[in-house]
Amino acid sequence: MLVRLPMVLVFSSVAALLASCSSTQPVANVSPSKPDNAEQLAAGARTSPGNLNTLGTPGTPTSPALLAKQLGGATINITRVTYASEGADFDPCISGNGSHLYFVSTQHRPTSDIYVKRVDSKVLTQLTSDPADDSMPAISPDGTKLAFASNRSGNWDIYIMPAAGGKAVQVTGDASDETHPSWSPDGQRLVYCRYNDGGESANRWELWITKAGNNATANFIGYGVAPRWCPVAGTGENASDKILFQLSRERGRRGYGLWTLDYAEGISSNITQIQGASDVALLHPTWSADGAFIAYSQVDLLDPANRADRPTNASLWMTSIAGDATVRLTSGEGAALSPAWSANNVLYYVSGRTGTDNIWALELSPALGAAQAVLDLRADPATTTTDAQATTDARGTAQADATTGPGTDPQN
């Protein structure tokens, strides 16, 4: 089933998503360039990560430490938030106080529009109605503006409009596709990705930063896709900001890993891999409100089902920013994609578990407890906890499992 999910233009197709964004060799004969519409965008966006085994052996971090065994029966509270019966709801984005959900939907017509609703209500307010596709909403830190991507000018560009709806101002306007905007903590700048289809760096996704206004000068800061600016300023070296993004390998299966860079005064530095392995693709990373953890989707590249236009299996995981406390959030068959972390520690994500893609919410308290247990064990291996028991893994990884037990697990 092809999902109309303009969620990340960066993912012009599943093949392109799982392929290297820096490779010039397409996978499965699908070029990673120029998705024409929201449907193609969505297809790729949904191809995120697949399942690992119970302990997550494929794709575990290469950093040190302890492996926390399965928690066995920990409860995760999962609730449905949107109710599309046809089309799809996707691209969740949460307001700063966690009260409102901004998202993209094709439940009313084939092209995608942006909507907003209270998380505890079924009443929707439509914010865009352009005949083209609008997607990837990002709410500003002060809650007054919404950045988004749209192909209303012929190719994908970044726009900004009032959070309550209204006239959109075009921020980028060159011939390349620009997508996936994310705000700086002060709300003055945007980071986004741009597809370079010409010159020495042809067929690569690039990271750019610009002021949040039209006709602003943009600065190139590196290569990658799906950037997310850390919501807490000054968490990098020398009080720089951190930016999280996906970056694909340039060999083998060319799957995506998760990376960060530090940014200050127009200069990027300290490019660091947080998670990655040759047999998985890690997608759609998102920050916790305090900048201490990240959540993401994981796709198993060895699973034949995950080579189609949309992976059959994709699970949600979270890890500390150092990559040393990794917790599995969902298990079972199905795809759980595009997580968005709210300030009250609820994770919103997309799942087609009812046959149509909708947005669901997952309460993260058990997972955060599991992660903290791992961190405590790392700090003092002699410490015992009631949340998790520890053992040493041959690969030297720290990991915990916060999925529910057999027969009651949340599935994707």
The pLDDT score that the predictor gives to residue 86 is 95
The pLDDT score that the predictor gives to residue 393 is 29
The pLDDT score that the predictor gives to residue 197 is 84
Of all residues in the chain, what percent are helix, strand and coil, respectively (each to 5)? 10, 40, 55
Its pTM stands at: 0.81
d(CA 163, CA 169): 12
How is 206-271 classified by DSSP, letter by letter?
EEEEEESSTT--EEEEEE-EEEEE-SSTT-SGGGPEEEEEEEE-SSTT--EEEEEEEEETTEEEEE
DSSP state of 403: P
The pLDDT score that the predictor gives to residue 308 is 54
The per-residue b/e assignment along 73-85, b for 16 or more CB within 10 angstroms, e otherwise, is: ebebebeebbebe
Residue ranges in the chain modelled with pLDDT below 50: 1-75, 385-399, 403-410
CA-closest candidate to residue 38, choices 127, 104, 137: 104
3-state secondary structure of 197: coil
The domain locations on the chain are 14-401
DSSP state of 305: G
Backbone angles phi, psi at 94, to 5 degrees: -110, 140
Beta pairing partners, 135 = 149
Superfamily of domain 14-401: TolB, C-terminal domain (2.120.10.30)
Burial level of 217, CB count in 10 A (0-12/13-18/19+)? Answer: exposed
